[in-house]
A = this chain, B = another copy of it.
Amino acid sequence: MVATTDLLVEGRHFRRDWSGPADVGVKAAAQNLADVAAMGAHSRTLLVGIGCPADLPAQWVLDMIDGMVTECGRAGASIAGGDVTAADSVMLAITALGELDGLRPVTRAGARPGDMVAVNGRLGWSAAGLALLRTARADGPDPQIAALVTAHRRPQPPYTAGPAAARAGATAMIDVSDGLLADVGHIASASGVAIDLETASLQVDAALAAGARLLNADAMDWVLTGGEDHALVATFPAETTPPAGWQVIGAVRPGSGVTIDGSVRSGPAGWDHFR
């Protein structure tokens, strides 16, 4: 079995004015279910600890749990139980338990020089949606803008891609929760290797481009440093073919650190929990 746990705090990981209760439930479940997928496992069940003020409407909690159940359904998991306590603000403690079905767990530490780096899932959409919410540009008729905001509220990780990558021989894997550069950096440091990404293979799709136009922002910045979409990034031996849905975006080299088109990028790589 594999197990993962996350602690989510209102005002820091979610805002009740920016996300409905079901959105919060979907997102809290998704980030843990994605962690299980990133080890090559499929999720079996969640444990859910809820801390909340005594005056929080019970319906908020029920709707939040409905969101969790919905997202668990996408991943083939259930909610087994949990804990409830009073607290000054809403907080969620999620533990996901998954099964490997005989496969070895894929960690961050197995990447080897010569491996390909590949991604499965969206990059930058959640960050774009957050930027739209922060600047009060989230509402409007443009379906591409609405899709970015929905991606922030309800990430949709590619759960089955994790076990598929494990079966295809992935040497290391992680889900993009802090940002592509930061999370690829976690693989690089845990594996003792360098990773070079190619911007030519990192797409800025139409929705991201629309969001960037509206906010006069750099869409590639969202792709490289935006977290919380929970795409999966894995390394595969050069002689293998990544499974369907995986797109090669770079290569593993001897050395350390992460480069883009051979150069070190300036600026923060992603989310710092105490910044």
Give residues in A with beta carbon < 8 Å to B: 1, 3-9, 12-13, 45, 47-51, 54, 80-89, 91, 93, 95, 97, 273-274
Q: Are B6 and A83 in contact (CB under 8 A)?
A: yes
Are A83 and B5 in contact, with the CB atoms below 8 A?
A: yes
A83-B13 Cα distance, complex, nearest whole Å:
13
CB distance from A16 to the nearest CB of B (A): 16
Cα–Cα distance between A122 and B3 once the two chains are bound (Å): 33
CB of A80 within 8 A of CB of B3, answer yes
A88: chain B residues at CB < 8 Å are 9, 88-89
Considering the chains assembled together, what is the distance between the CA atoms of A85 and B82 in angstroms?
A: 20
Report the separation of the CA atoms of residues A153 and B47 in the bound assembly, to the nearest whole angstrom.
27
B3 to A95, Cβ gap below 8 A?
Answer: yes
Pick from B4, B7, B95, B273: contact of A91, CB under 8 Å: B7
Are B7 and A49 in contact, with the CB atoms below 8 A? yes
Number of copies: 2
Asked if residues A273 and B86 are in contact (CB atoms below 8 Å), the reply is yes
List B contacts of A13 (CB < 8 A): 85
Which chain B residues lie closer than 8 Å to A8 at the CB level?
A: 85
Instruction: Report B-chain residues with C-beta under 8 Å of the C-beta of A51.
Output: 7, 9, 91
Report the bound CA distance from A91 to B51 in whole Å.
10
> Which B residues are CB-close (under 8 A) to A1?
1, 97
Query: How distant is the Cα of A48 from the Cα of B49 in the complex, in angstroms?
Result: 12
Q: Is B85 in contact with A7, judged by CB distance below 8 angstroms?
A: yes
Cα-based distance from A9 to B274 in the complex (angstroms): 19
Q: How far is the CB of A116 from chain B (nearest CB, A)?
A: 28
Chain B residues closer than 8 Å to A84, beta-carbon distance: 7, 273
Complexed CA–CA distance, A85 and B50 (Å): 16
- In the complex, chain B residues whose CB is within 8 Å of the CB of A45: 3
In the complex, what distance in Å separates the CA atom of A169 from the CA atom of B48? 30
A10 to B45, CA, bound (A): 28
The 9 closest A-B pairs by CB, nearest first: A93-B93, A7-B49, A5-B47, A95-B95, A9-B87, A54-B274, A7-B85, A6-B83, A7-B93
Q: How far is the CB of A274 from chain B (nearest CB, A)?
A: 5
Q: Which residues of B contact A274 (CB under 8 A)?
A: 54, 86
Alpha-carbon gap, A50 to B13, bound state (A): 14
Q: Do the beta carbons of B49 and A97 come within 8 Å of each other?
A: no
Q: Give the most central of A5, A12, A47: most B CB within 10 Å.
A: A5
CA distance A3 to B88 in the complex (A): 26
Given A54-B274, A80-B3, A274-B54, answer yes or no on A49-B86 (Cβ-Cβ < 8 Å).
Answer: no
B residues less than 8 Å from A12 (CB atoms):
85-87
Most chain B CB neighbours (cut-off 10 Å) among A4, A48, A54: A4
